[in-house]
């Protein structure tokens, strides 16, 4: 499928302008998701669509509130001045020597 058809599909499916849809494809090319002049249809069907998450204003609000509750809840149970263990193999400061 040609690039212009994929841009048109994205534009129609997500109700955005052709310029915005083209930016999405350009960023996919820049990020190595798809090779320029490559399999745009395969990228669209197998990478782009399955990884799209659409969140409306209400969903976004709920997500932010939930995040705040989780952060507050975990901070409540954390002991004051608790230390997070160092990675294995690194002891006494930032060096391994």
Structure tokens belonging to residue 83 = 């230390």
What are the tens digits of pLDDT across the range 23-53? 999 999 999 888 888 889 999 999 999 998 8
Residue 18 pLDDT: 94
Q: Does residue 92 register a pLDDT over 60?
A: no
Residue 35 pLDDT: 83
Measured distance CA(59)–CA(66) in Å, rounded: 11
Measured distance CA(22)–CA(47) in Å, rounded: 16
């Amino acid at each position: 499928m040609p690039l212009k058809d994929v841009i048109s599909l994205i534009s129609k499916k997500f109700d955005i302008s052709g310029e915005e849809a083209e930016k999405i494809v350009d960023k996919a090319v820049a990020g190595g998701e798809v090779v320029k002049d490559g399999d745009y249809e395969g990228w669209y069907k197998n990478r782009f669509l399955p990884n799209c998450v659409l969140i409306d204003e209400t969903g976004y609000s709920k997500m932010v509130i939930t995040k705040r509750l989780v952060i507050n809840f975990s901070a409540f149970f954390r002991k004051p001045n608790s230390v997070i263990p160092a990675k294995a193999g690194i002891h006494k400061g930032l060096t391994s020597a």
